[in-house]
Amino acid sequence: MAPLKPYAGPVRKLVLGIDVGTTYSGISYAILDPGEVPKIQGVTRFPGQENAAGDSKIPTILYYRPDGTVHSAGAEAAVPGIELDAEDEDLFLSKWFKLHLRPEHLDSNEVNRRDLPPLPTGKTVVQVFADFLEYLVSCTQRYITSTHASGESLWNSLKDQIDFVLSHPNGWEGLQQGKMRQAAVLAKLVPDNAAGHARIHFVTEGEASLHFCVQSGLTTSSIETGESVMIVDAGGGTVDISSYSFTSTTPISVEEIATAECIMQGSTRVNVRAEKFLKERLKNSAYGNEEDIKTMLDYFDKFTKPVFKDSNETSYIKFGSMGCNDPKVKIRRGQLQLTGAEMESFFQPALDSIVATVQRQRQTASQPITTVFLVGGFAASPWLFNGLQKTLQERGMALCRPDTHTSKAVSEGAVSFYLDRFVSARLIRTTYGVSCNHDYVPNDPEHATRTLWRIIRPSGRVVLPNGFSPILTKGTRVREHQEMSRCYFREAREQRTLNRISTSITCYKGNAPDPHWMDVESEMYTPLCTIHADTSKVTRTPRQGSNGTYYVQVYNIILQCGLTELKAQISWTQDVSR
């Protein structure tokens, strides 16, 4: 286990690590006292889950009233009899809402919005996310005030000094982080100003899981031998796969050695395939109605799926009374029978996808990887663990899984990330740049096809629009606080048109090594953010062109890319005479 360092901050504060998962969520925290070594603790008691004290996760679900207010959330939305209340009060169940935040390109062949449970009428995903964040923090307040000595005064003294670390899948980017920050503001976790925004931090689930493994002592042998490790965080919605190398042991320093990946093959996809199977099998049965299938899926998710371990065993789904029989579809005494092969068909695509991604990441890694750690809620599946262990052993890799509490890996790891950032270098997952004009080259065949789009600038330059200028390319290794910049210029006939600048940072998600045009693979380009600046005092140089005087303004676009959150800035040389 890597010992935490004494907290070096000047004042006491509280940090919360929040893991809003697709199916289950958890919270960990640490009270930071100057000069003292922090202790990472989990919230292990939630409303509606009093009989399961010690459980560190609650269901990621909410019931909404017809007027849009929250009726219940978490474990309180899963208490016995809640379905009857929902029917009587016309409540709407919101689940898997986190997946509505995902980037559209992320594993789009596997998941599309039609597959996802709908959001409540009149609610955006940001609003639902905010409602659940607000609920989680209220649970944390209740836990801390009832668990710690003088808990009420402790919370009141720290509630305005809370830093929040929100985890998200590897495949999420600036747009998703921005929406999560909006949700945190909407939930009143922080005020909507620069100081409030600075109290929201982000960490990928892969990196948070690495921190958990290190702090839990799971990677001790790997650290001692200087080996590299791969983290497979198998959750409800996504499976996040990341690879790291330990470059130093004292202090611990880790570098990412392959581009982190995210695949939409979490445990919920097993449910989706089971649902499709049941609807097809029961389409001509009296038990193929919506209510019975919902009951079957609930039982499947809670009891059948978690214990399935072998294709040689028969599985059962209980759903009705002893009088429910239909031999043609293998229903007997209120139980539907599933063969091992049928059960395996629900899981197999997830295993195949994980293995393919592990193999691809291993091949692209800059150092050999022989050890894989499996964490996350889906890691508890005996079939997934056994199948992955056997397949990886055949490829010369050892699979390790913590004995307990893999479900709290991300929330605890998020707090650890805040306290002691092990990862000193990361690989960029996508290419970032800006739109631009390319100088027109008549004898370039590609330019010749764009002749009709030529534009003449004030200088007399002939340019072509729809160009792309990369600033930071996919696969680049960057260190914390490292900046990447590129110089650009604008020209205009009148000086006043150079008084303001607005530039959009664009992501390119394709595989072309040198993306050049934004109208080629246009679906692969998505806006990340827009930078606005007052450039009225920026130097503009007068020049003579073929059509008279024009002005040139030079500036730099800077990307701060070594952290888990990308930041963009514009810099320039100021004209002191203006």
Where in the chain are the domains? Answer: 13-205, 267-346, 430-571
pLDDT value at residue 121: 94
- Over residues 83-88, the mean pLDDT reads 94
Tokens linked to 165 = 């670390």
Contact between 302 and 268 under an 8 Å Cβ cutoff? The reply is no
What single DSSP character describes residue 191? -
pLDDT value at residue 563: 66
Residue 64 burial (C-beta neighbours within 10 Å; 0-12, 13-18, 19+): buried
pLDDT value at residue 562: 60
Q: Which helix (H) or strand (E) holds 451?
A: none
Measured in degrees and rounded to the nearest 5, phi and psi for residue 117 equal -60, 140
Distance in Å from the first CA to the final CA of the chain: 58
Tokens linked to 458 = 């004030």
Amino acid at 166: L
pLDDT surpassing 90 at residue 485: yes
pLDDT value at residue 225: 72
Mean pLDDT of the chain: 92
With cut-offs at 50, 70 and 90, classify the pLDDT of residue 174. confident
With cut-offs at 50, 70 and 90, classify the pLDDT of residue 109. low
Helices (H) and strands (E) in the chain, counts: 14, 28
Residue 291, SS3?
A: helix
Length of the chain: 578
With cut-offs at 50, 70 and 90, classify the pLDDT of residue 414. very high
With cut-offs at 50, 70 and 90, classify the pLDDT of residue 383. very high
- Strand partners of residue 510: none
pLDDT value at residue 578: 54
With cut-offs at 50, 70 and 90, classify the pLDDT of residue 227. confident
DSSP letter string, 127-158 = HHHHHHHHHHHHHHHHHHHHHSTTHHHHHHHH
pLDDT surpassing 80 at residue 113: no
Beta strands in 365-461 (DSSP E): 369-375, 398-400, 423-427, 431-439, 455-456
pLDDT value at residue 346: 98
pLDDT value at residue 107: 56
* pLDDT tens by residue, 442-471: 999 999 999 999 999 999 999 999 999 999
CA nearest neighbour of 527 among 242, 174, 142, 62: 174
pLDDT surpassing 60 at residue 108: no
With cut-offs at 50, 70 and 90, classify the pLDDT of residue 76. very high
pLDDT surpassing 60 at residue 99: yes
Measured in degrees and rounded to the nearest 5, phi and psi for residue 202 equal -125, 145
pLDDT surpassing 60 at residue 511: yes
Amino acid at 438: H
- Over residues 509-518, the mean pLDDT reads 92
DSSP letter string, 322-352 = TT--BGGGTEETTEEEE-HHHHHHHHHHHHH
- Over residues 513-525, the mean pLDDT reads 93
Q: Which helix (H) or strand (E) holds 167?
A: strand 162-168
Taking the CA atoms of residue 213, residue 217, residue 218 and residue 222 in that order, the dihedral angle to the nearest 10 degrees is 100
* pLDDT tens by residue, 260-276: 999 999 999 999 999 99
pLDDT value at residue 249: 80
Residue 51, SS3?
A: helix
pLDDT surpassing 80 at residue 192: yes
pLDDT surpassing 80 at residue 170: yes
With cut-offs at 50, 70 and 90, classify the pLDDT of residue 402. confident
pLDDT value at residue 406: 64
The fold of the 13-205 domain, in CATH, is Nucleotidyltransferase; domain 5 (3.30.420)
- Over residues 218-239, the mean pLDDT reads 85
* pLDDT tens by residue, 21-60: 999 999 999 999 999 999 999 999 999 987 766 678 999 9
pLDDT value at residue 567: 86
Rounded Cα gap, residues 125 and 130, in angstroms: 8
Tokens linked to 535 = 């450039």
pLDDT value at residue 4: 85
With cut-offs at 50, 70 and 90, classify the pLDDT of residue 219. confident
Contact between 276 and 259 under an 8 Å Cβ cutoff? The reply is no
Long-range pairs of 542-545 with CB within 8 A, sequence gap ≥ 24: 543/459, 545/458, 545/459, 545/460
pLDDT value at residue 547: 82
pLDDT value at residue 553: 95
87-105 CB burial, b ≥16 within 10 A, e <16:
eeeebbbbbbbbbbbbbee
Q: Which residue has the tokens 């059962």?
A: 316
Beta strand pairing call for 431-439 and 315-318: unpaired
pLDDT surpassing 90 at residue 555: yes
Rounded Cα gap, residues 493 and 543, in angstroms: 10
Q: Which residue has the tokens 């080629």?
A: 520
pLDDT surpassing 80 at residue 105: no
pLDDT value at residue 481: 81
- Over residues 94-118, the mean pLDDT reads 80
pLDDT surpassing 70 at residue 112: no
pLDDT value at residue 405: 53
pLDDT surpassing 90 at residue 576: no
Percent share of the chain, pLDDT over 90 = 80
Tokens linked to 15 = 């940090």
What single DSSP character describes residue 13? E
pLDDT surpassing 90 at residue 2: no
